[in-house]
Amino acid sequence: MTYRNYLIKNNPTSSYLLRIKIPKDLRYYFDGKIGFTMSLKNGIHSQSIVFAKILRLEVQSIFNSIRVGTMSKINVNQIKDILRNKIERTLTHSQWVVTDTNTFVESEVKDKIEEINGEERILKTQIEQNYDGVLEHIEKEIARIIKSRNLTLDSKSLEFNQLRKQFLELRLIRNTWKKELLEDSGKSIEDFRKEIYKKFNIKDEPTDLDLLLKLQTSESILGSRTHSNDLVTTSKDNQIINDSVITEPPKKDDSPKLSEMKGDFLGERLLSGFSPKSTREIGSTVDDFIEIVGDIQISQVSPKDAREFKRIIALLPKHRHQSPRYSNLNIKQILELKNVEGQEPKNINKLIYRVRIFFRWLRNNYREYVPQNYFEGLSVQSKKVTRPREGFSNEELNQIFDPAKYLGYTIRNLKRRTKLTSFFVPLIGLHTGMRLEEICQLRLKDISTAGNYDVFKVVISEDTKLKNIQSERIIPIHENLKKLGFLDYCKYLRKLKYERVFYDLEKNRDGYGRNMGRFFMDYLKKLEIYQFQTKVFHSLRHTFITNLLQNGVREEVVNGLDGHAQKTMSTTVYFKGGFPSDVLYEEGISKLNYEGMDFENLKINWKNYI
C-alpha cells in the first residue's frame, strides 16, 4: 500500500483523510460499499503517514476478525437446515398460489396454469441465455441467508455451488408443484416434501413445534379443495391452530428487514423477465417507503405505515431526483421547504401500486410474517380522466409519410446521425404494430423465416426485453417493407458482421428507443400533429391494430400479431405457441391496407447512407 495515494486533503487548511478500501469478499457485510474515509485530525503530511500505517493495521485486524472471528464456518447440517427452510418456504408458496385461486371455476384454473407456464418459459429462457445472471441472483439470496445466521461459506467452494444449484432446482420445480396442485393430481404436499428431501439427501425431517404446526396448517390450506367433506372445520382446536399460524407472526420476531427483502424481490423480478427500467422504478419507490417508515422488520409493517406512505408521498414533488432544488435532499428536508408542489393523484396511485407489488411478493413468499398486504385497495381518488392514446387518421398518415417531409426529416436531414434508423423504425411500427423498444432492440437474427414467410421474431433474451411473456411472437414482414429494401438492408448488414439491425442506436438504462421516441415526437410537433400522451409513436401501433380490425381480421389473429393476451379460452389453452406464420400472414398482415398511401415513393438507395 502506498499511503500517500490513500491520503486525501479537501483544501490546504483541512486535516488529512485516510481512504480505506473494503476487500471484495467482505463488501457484503458493509452493505455493498467499496470503501470509506477516516479523518486523521492532522494536517501535517509526515505525521499523517505514520497515523495511516497504524490505522491500516487496526482496520486489517477488524477485517480478519470478520472473516474468522465473529463469523463461524458453516457445517453440513447447517447447509441442510438452510436448504430445508428453503424447501418449506417453496412448498408454502406453492400452496398459497393454489388457495388464492378460485379452483371451483375451470377457466380461472386454466388461466393460472397458463400464467405459471409463462413464468416457467421465461425462467428457462433466462437460464439458457443469461445463466450467469440467474446464478448471481441466487448467490445474493444465499449470501443474505448465511449472513443472517452469522455463518460464512466460501462462494468458490463445492458446498456453495451445490447449494446454489439446489436453490435453482427448487425455483424450477415449484412451478410443477403449483400446476399439479391446481390440476388436483392426487399428490399432497407431503408427497412433494418426501420426493425433494430424498432428491437432496435430507434425512432428518424438521421436528420443532413451530414447523409441525406449519405442516398441519399446510395440509389444511388445501383441505377444502381436496376433500369436499372438509369444507366445514370439525375441530375447534384445529381452527385455533390454523388461525394462529396463518394470521400471526412468530412470537420470536426473526423476520428480515425491508431492505434485505428488497434486494431479493428485485433480483427475482429481473429473473422473471420484467424490464430493468420498471424494476429500477419499483426499487426506487420501495426505498422511499423505507425512508418514510424506517428499515423495520417486514413483520412490523402496519396499516398505519401504509397510510403514512400515502400521506407523505402525496406531499413530495414529482421527479424530485431530477430537480436541482431537491436532488440532494432527503424526504424530511423536502417536507420542511416552502412552496413545494405535491403530486397529482395519478402519480400518487402509481407509486402506491409499486409498493403494493413489493408487498404482494412478500405476502406470497413470507406469509408467516406478512399475512396481509396493507396496500391492496389503497389509492387516491382522481377526477382527472387520462386520455388514451389514439391512432393516426389517414390525413395524418399522409402528412407523416409525405415523401418530401419524411425523407427531408430523416435521410436528407444533415443533423440526423441515425438516418437509416430514423427512416425504417416508424415504417416498421406502422406495418407491424411493434412497440418502439421492440423495434429498436431488434437483432439481425430476429429477421428470419417461418415456413414460407419472412418474419420478425419478437423474443425475450439476454439482449432483448419485452413487456410480458405474451409479447413473444412472430410477425410476417409486409410487402411494403420488402419493396423499400428492408430485407436487402439486413442482408447487407450481415455481410458487414453487424449483430443489430439498428446498430447506431446506443443503449441507455431504459433500452435503445429513447432517442428515437424523442425524434418522432419532434417530427410530429413540426407537423402540428403531436398531442401530449395521445398522438405519439405508440399511436402507430394503435393505427395498425385499428386498420386490421376494420379490414375484417379476427381479434385473436390481431392479438397474435400485436402481442396482447388472448381473451378466449380456446386460443389461450390450445394456441400456446401462437398462430403459424401462414395464418398470421394470410389472415392478418396481407389484409393491412392504408388506403390512398403510396409507400413506393419513399424508396431510397439505402447503401448511400451506411
> Which three cell numbers, joined as nine digits, stand for 79?
447447509
**pLDDT of amino acid 389:** 61
Same domain membership, residue 274 and residue 133: no
Helix (H) or strand (E) holding 458: strand 453-458
Cell numbers representing residue 19 in the block: 481512504
Check whether residue 218 and residue 272 sit in a common domain: no
Exposure of 191 in the CB half-sphere (CA atoms within 13 A): 7
What confidence score (pLDDT) does residue 388 get? 54
pLDDT digits (tens, 9 = 90+) for 312-359: 999 999 888 888 888 889 999 999 998 888 888 889 999 999 999 999
Q: Is residue 385 in a domain?
A: no
Q: Where are the alpha helices (DSSP H) in 294-434?
A: 303-315, 331-335, 345-365, 394-400, 403-409, 419-432
Give me the amino acid identity at 362: L
pLDDT of residue 447: 94
Q: How buried is residue 100: exposed, middle or buried, by Cβ count under 10 Å (0-12/13-18/19+)? A: exposed
Q: Are residues 87 and 11 in the same domain?
A: no
Per the CB < 8 A criterion, the answer to whether 512 and 456 are in contact is no
Looking at the structure, tell me whether residues 547 and 493 fall in a common domain. yes
The Cα–Cα gap between 270 and 544 comes to 30
H or E segment at 455? strand 453-458
Q: Is 467 exposed, middle or buried (0-12, 13-18, 19+ CB in 10 A)?
A: middle
Of 23, 51, 69, at which residue does a domain stop? 69
Distance CA 186, CA 180 (A): 8
Residue 36 DSSP SS3: strand
Residues 6+ apart with CB under 8 A from 92: 214, 218, 367, 368
Residue 351 counted as domain residue: yes
Q: Is the Cβ–Cβ distance between 533 and 389 less than 8 Å? A: yes
Cell of 31: 452493505
Longest dimension (CA), the chain: 85
Q: With a cut of 70, which residues of the chain have pLDDT below it?
A: 1-5, 25-32, 40-42, 47, 50-51, 54-55, 57-58, 61-75, 203-253, 383-389, 462, 467-470, 533, 565-577
Residue 16's domain comprises 3-69
Q: What is the pLDDT of residue 325?
A: 86
Residue 376 lies in a domain: no
Distances (CA, A) of 525 to 86, 413, 419, 522, 570: 55, 16, 19, 5, 44
The three cell numbers of residue 439 are 423495434
Q: Does 460 share its domain with 551?
A: yes
7/20 Cα distance (integer angstroms): 10
C-alpha to C-alpha distance for 39 and 31, rounded to whole angstroms: 21
Query: Final residue of a domain: which of 36, 69, 102?
Result: 69
- Count of domains observed in the chain: 4
Q: SS3 for 531-577, per residue?
A: ECCCECCCHHHHHHHHHHHHCCCCHHHHHHHHCCCCCCHHHHHHCCC
Gap between the Cα atoms of 84 and 274, Å rounded: 29
Are 505 and 512 in contact, with CB atoms under 8 Å apart? yes
Which one, of 534, 504, 483, lies nearest residue 440 by Cα? Answer: 504
Asked if residue 429 belongs to a domain, the reply is yes
**DSSP structural state of residue 186:** S
Residue 378 lies in a domain: no
Angle between helices 209-221 and 189-199 (to 10 degrees): 130
- Do 495 and 462 share a structural domain? yes
Q: In this structure, what C-alpha cell is assigned to residue 276?
A: 430493468
| Rounded Cα–Cα distance for residues 518 and 126 (Å) | 31
What pLDDT shows up at residue 211?
Answer: 43
3-class SS at 508? strand
Q: Which pLDDT belongs to residue 298?
A: 94
pLDDT at 223: 44
Phi and psi at residue 475, to the nearest 5°: -135, 115
With a CB cutoff of 8 Å and minimum separation 6, the contacts of 292 are: 305, 308, 309, 312, 313, 331
The rounded distance, in Å, linking the Cα atoms of 176 and 386 is 41
- 273 plus 314 within the same structural domain: yes
Residues 6+ apart with CB under 8 A from 189: 91, 94, 95, 215, 218, 219, 222
Give the CATH number for residue 446.
1.10.443.10
pLDDT of amino acid 237: 38
Is 315 a member of any domain? Answer: yes
Asked if 18 and 85 sit in the same domain, the reply is no
Query: Are residues 512 and 549 located together in one domain of the fold?
Result: yes
**Counts for the chain of helices (H) and strands (E), in that order:** 25, 8
The domain boundary, picked from 52, 69, 86, lies at: 69
| pLDDT of amino acid 32 | 67
Co-location of 526 and 404 in the same domain: yes
Compute the Cα dihedral for 399, 404, 410, 415 and give only its sign. Answer: negative
Calpha distance 252→129 (Å, rounded): 42
Same domain (yes/no): 34, 159: no
Distance separating the N- and C-terminal Cα atoms of the chain:
51
Pair (341, 480) in one structural domain: no
For residue 360, give the amino acid letter: R
Which grid cell sits at 55?
Answer: 490505522
What is the gyration radius of the CA atoms in the chain, in angstroms?
A: 29
Q: Which long-range contacts (CB under 8 A, 24 or more apart) does 602-605 make?
A: 602/401, 602/403, 602/406, 602/407, 602/427, 602/484, 603/483, 603/484, 603/485, 604/407, 604/411, 604/423, 604/484, 604/485
Assigned domain for 149 exists: yes
